[in-house]
A and B are shown apart, each in its own frame.
Chain A
Amino acid sequence: MSCKYLIIGSSHAGLAALDAIRVRDSEGSIILVSREEYMPYSPTILPYVVSGKSDPEKIYLRNEADMERVGVEFRRKARVVKLNATDRNITLESGENLGYEKLLLATGAAPVPPPFQGLKDVPYQVLRTLDDALELRRTMEGAHSAVVLGAGFIGMHAAEIMAKAGKKVTVVVRSRVLRGYFNEECSSLITQIFSAHGVRIITGTGVSRVEKSNGGCVVCLESGEDLYSDFLLASTGVKPCTDYLIGSGIEKNEGILVDRKMRTNTKHIYAAGDVAEGPDFFTSEPQVIPLLTNAVAQGKIAGANMAGEEVEYEGGISMNTFNFFGNRVLSIGLSEPFQTGNGGQVLEERDDEKKRFKRLVFQEDKLIGARFLNVELNPGVIVYLIKKQVNIGPYAEILFQQPKEISHWLMLEMEKKETVPLRNKEKR
């Protein structure tokens, strides 16, 4: 069996590529392959499945009728085990080969098991697939306490959900909360908010080993403390799923290396999403940015290029938003200027009482990063200012003081420059 476009992976990157192809080529045959038994869904929705906010029956991004309408053959439970680039086909777990003219690898990422001693004997949970989420929900029901290993967005989100469900939650992290996104100042405010809601956060210590205890487990910390809990949730990061690429000749570093057109080193093969390592917006260096927004952007680019148009990716920008206990924290772009003292400028303000934090990072006259905790604004507009490299210059200070209004104004000014005053008002 073969097709014109073969897409492996049916999450955001795969679906965005699918749409981008169909906009340009309404006829070409498409096969969409998923290793799961479900219709396409987003890993981002899973914490809400755990909390019960989302009905697991209603999280699907496409149904069978949608697939039929756009003329796509959707294959479930079809794990890819081998890519044969010279023969231009892939081998599924069932042994079937699927041929392609253009191939997109959007296989995403999987949790990295933490390297703690004893973990292989102690059952622990992760949160990456729908099955994980359903299992975590079941486990949670009978449990009273939980230990979360790692304090990234997934770990903190799970901690919030479990705390809200009345569990005794402890988060253990070697450095600090959300280290990849926030500096010490902001991170400690977030820690305070979690602590105020009964979540114990232990920072600055590693885990020496984990052990089974009756009905649950013990986490022994390097600090000497032993934590008893009913179950463990490991959220110590993800890494791209590339096991099927062995022997394929596809070049990879941490993820699959792609250029600005999302092409791999092998002809007719593209990669996008969490599995891809594409250019960074600021440095153009290859980087894996495992975030939904990047997956969508890369998927669109890959799809367009697969369908014959030439479109280039502007580069990935790390950005995220996280709502917890009625608070909202935002991280966009870089946290430090490229080189301090060399055109770099940072404006920062922290209000412990109101639990507010804001930080803007500039390089020359341009915004390159922003961090906000409990500041009302539309973050997409801030992203716009960074992406369009809007010259902020003398307005940096008022942007810092009133980020919502000034960011909108700067965006409107920029848009005005790009729109056309076609006809005079009185002649309308």
Chain B
Amino acid sequence: MKSFWDTFRIEYGGCPPDCSACIEACVTERKDDMWGGGCIKPIHVPEVNFHGVTVCHQCSQPACKEVCPAGAIQKSEIDGIVRIEGEKCVGCALCTLACPYGGVDYNADKNKAFKCDVCGGEPKCVEACKYGVLSFMKSRPVYGALCHEDVFVPGVALCAGCAAEHAIRFVMRIIGKEALLFTSPGCAPLMVGRFERVAVTLMTNVASTMTGVKRYFRKMGRDVVTVAFAGDGATADVGFQSLSGAAERGENIIYICYDNEAYMNTGIQRSSTTPLRAWTNTTPLGKSRQGKQQPPKYLPLIMAFHGISYTATATTAYLDDFAKKIAKAKEVKDGMSYIHLLCPCPTGWRFPTASTIEVARKAVQTNYFPLWEAEKGKFVLTHQTRFQRPIKEFTKLMGRFSHLTEEDLAEVQEMVNARFATIKGLAEL
């Protein structure tokens, strides 16, 4: 089966207030269709000045198809279009109840359901739209139109299952390859060496170096995007003073910290973001002490309280959320953007290489690593789990916590709850 098909692209809320050209074209096209017509829906809400349009998404797993008791709805494996077989449709209208997007309609006169079939590949509504709100994209350019090309295609020299590799690849696809990338000694240089616009600084001076470069270009009359991709050691420990200084000065840079919660590249030594009770080579399991004795430094809040323009937390398990935050950070022109990215490390955390995403997801679902953002001091939780999982569901996935006793778990749970309560309190202000 093909992985993607031709599709509509709709400019959100881009319609003029009094236009109905698309629906007229749709009704005309399907007037001889005995099962009904008028599939595209102009949505006009003058109260909030919204004028837009919506139509069937031709879902990959169509909810309408799943609930049809007559087996009348099928998704074509050839062109991806979801069609209703009019002869079989009994008009029970369960499909209209199942579709969350209003993509199927019920015609009471004919007692049948009907929906968009993209006019077989040449949609008449798109031809009728004079305002560029509707377009129809052939499958090949869709992905390219939404993302930039992958600058790391030839391959990288990181461990299997590395979340940081996935993350930097993703960041560059959204930021674009015109950006200047900065990084410090750690895992990232092993990867970004292939990218031509990269500077590897010392661990102490990532933020100050990029400040200088940014200002130089500004003096030359060019506004360049500067992005740092640095580990927790270079961010929270060694390079913190230069970062804190740049934040306080309001430098217009994007700083992404990939936090794998220890100095992984040099052989798993504790950092200030290593979690409470976690094993590392410098917080070993001894007779009197097991794992790290101190709670981790919660850097994202410290950065937010510098009063910078944009702060966010993200993980690779919630890529849509991450992408939105990268796009927002890129838009900031009046100060610093800081994204704190949780990067599960199979090597240092001791879990199978295939579990990276699951570990990151559990970190969010247990509220160990809540996803939030702060724009100019306004805090918002961007992903709230409906049911908070016990911290054990996160810790049991990895070896660095395998020694935890019930008391240790209770202690970690208490810390997680207290920190989440703080964030939640800020978001509710």
Contact = CB atoms under 8 A, between A and B. Distances in A.
A378 B105 contact: yes
A408 B100 CA distance: 9
A16 interface: yes
Interface stretch (A51-59, A123-131, A166-174, A353-361): A51-59
Interface in A391-428: 398, 405-409, 411-412, 415-416, 418-423, 428
A321 B93 contact: yes
A423 B98 CA distance: 32
Contact of B101 (A260, A380, A418): A380
Contacts of B12: 412, 416
A349 B50 CA distance: 26
A418 B48 CA distance: 20
Nearest to A60: B71
Interface stretch (A2-10, A232-240, A322-330, A334-342): A322-330
B69 A42 contact: yes
Contact of B387 (A312, A330, A408, A422): A312
B372 to A, nearest CB: 14
Contacts of B323: 420, 422
Contacts of A398: 45, 47
Contacts of A328: 93, 106, 108
Contact of B99 (A48, A320, A378, A406): A378
A42 B69 CA distance: 5
B66 A422 contact: no
B94 interface: yes
A152 to B, nearest CB: 15
Interface in B43-97: 43-45, 47-48, 50, 52, 54, 63, 66-67, 69-71, 88, 90-94, 96-97
Nearest to A385: B100
Interface in A163-206: none
Contacts of A58: 88
B418 interface: no
Interface in B308-333: 320, 323-324, 327
A408 B93 contact: no
Interface in A298-322: 300, 312, 314, 319-321
A405 to B, nearest CB: 5
Given A380-B97, A428-B145, A420 B71 contact: no
B111 interface: yes
Nearest to B362: A310
Contacts of A45: 69-70, 90
Interface string A32-73: 000000000011110010000110001111100000000000
Interface in B176-208: 176
Contacts of B222: none
Contact of B146 (A44, A387, A422): A422
Contacts of A415: 101
B90 A53 contact: yes
Given A323-B111, A409-B43, A423-B147, A54 B90 contact: yes
Nearest to B320: A420
Given A328-B108, A380-B102, A314 B70 contact: no
A296 interface: yes
A293 B92 CA distance: 13
A44 B69 contact: yes
Interface in B1-56: 12-13, 41, 43-45, 47-48, 50, 52, 54
Contacts of B67: 12, 292-293, 296
Interface string A205-221: 00000000000000000
A379 B88 CA distance: 22
A319 to B, nearest CB: 6
B128 interface: no
Contacts of A421: 324, 327
Q: Which of A260, A320, A323 has the most CB of B within 10 A?
A: A323
A381 interface: yes
A383 interface: yes
A411 B101 CA distance: 7
A419 B324 CA distance: 8
A380 B111 contact: no
Given A408-B102, A422-B147, A44 B94 contact: yes
Given A312-B387, A416-B12, A421-B327, A323 B91 contact: yes
Contact of A412 (B43, B66, B106): B43
B320 A321 contact: no
B102 A381 contact: yes
Contacts of B109: 326
B70 A54 contact: yes
5 contacts: A44-B92, A45-B69, A383-B97, A383-B98, A412-B43
Interface of B: 12-13, 41, 43-45, 47-48, 50, 52, 54, 63, 66-67, 69-71, 88, 90-94, 96-102, 104-106, 108-109, 111, 145-148, 174, 176, 320, 323-324, 327, 386-387
Interface of A: 12, 16, 42-45, 48, 53-54, 58-62, 260, 292-293, 296, 300, 312, 314, 319-321, 323, 326-328, 330, 332, 378-381, 383-384, 387, 398, 405-409, 411-412, 415-416, 418-423, 428
Given A321-B96, A378-B102, A384-B101, 16 more contacts: A12-B67, A12-B69, A61-B69, A260-B387, A312-B387, A323-B92, A326-B109, A330-B97, A408-B54, A409-B50, A411-B101, A411-B102, A412-B43, A420-B323, A423-B146, A428-B145
The 5 closest A-B pairs by CB, nearest first: A42-B69, A378-B102, A44-B69, A384-B100, A380-B99
